[in-house]
């Protein structure tokens, strides 16, 4: 990931750590982040139901680094912290995949990866659904790709 543009790198970290959709990431505002509680309010979602998600230390650092990357400019409005051109970011993501030799990867695939990682870390179905925003467990299952190797230790 060292080849990624800093802003794109932070977007990828947030995606993998939170299972957020790309549009949700692009909508994050400084006022949505509660650093003290280590949570993020997502007021607008695909399902039209706002949700608050817990942030890992890594996700919180990526978000605070992104806020810091904008410098000491005083904004008159609470603009999205990833105030980027989506076409430019798509091109950067495409070039990054090429540099890494990855052919079949979409940004949305990071949501699948994040969901699987949550299960591998021991979160139960309801906890993962509350983080990812899935209301239908059938859809949540489609996002889950648990590696059998991660279950070995739990089997004993």
Selecting among 10, 21, 92, 117, the annotated active-site residue is 21
Selecting among 142, 143, 147, 154, the annotated active-site residue is 143
Whether 111 is a known active-site residue: answer: yes
CA distances from 81 to 68, 139, 153 (A): 10, 29, 40
Separation of alpha carbons 16 and 125, rounded Å: 18
Selecting among 46, 57, 138, 154, the annotated active-site residue is 46
Selecting among 9, 10, 92, 111, the annotated active-site residue is 111
Selecting among 9, 92, 117, 134, the annotated active-site residue is 134
Selecting among 108, 121, 142, 145, the annotated active-site residue is 108
Could you tell me the two tokens for 60?
């919180």
Whether 134 is a known active-site residue: answer: yes
Whether 21 is a known active-site residue: answer: yes
User: Nearest CA to 53 among 92, 81, 87, 14?
Assistant: 14
Contact status, residue 60 vs residue 54, Cβ threshold 8 Å: no
Helical spans, DSSP H, in 70-124 = 86-100, 109-120
Whether 9 is a known active-site residue: answer: no
Torsion of CA 91, 115, 143, 16, to 10 degrees: 0
Residues marked as catalytic = 21, 46, 108, 111, 134, 143
């Amino acid at each position: 990931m060292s080849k990624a543009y800093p802003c794109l790198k932070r977007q990828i970290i947030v995606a993998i750590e939170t299972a957020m959709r790309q549009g949700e990431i692009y909508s994050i505002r400084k006022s949505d982040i509660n650093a003290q509680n280590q949570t993020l309010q997502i007021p607008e979602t695909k399902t039209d139901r706002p949700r608050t998600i817990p942030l890992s230390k890594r996700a919180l650092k990526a978000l605070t680094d992104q806020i810091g990357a904008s410098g000491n400019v005083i904004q008159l409005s609470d603009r999205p912290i990833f105030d980027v051109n989506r076409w430019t970011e798509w091109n950067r993501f495409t070039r990054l995949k090429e540099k890494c030799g990855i052919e079949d990867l979409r940004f949305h695939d990071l949501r699948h990866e994040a969901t699987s990682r949550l299960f591998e870390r021991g979160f139960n179905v309801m906890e993962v659904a509350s983080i990812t925003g899935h209301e239908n467990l059938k859809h949540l299952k489609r996002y889950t790709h648990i590696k059998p190797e991660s279950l070995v230790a739990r089997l004993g």
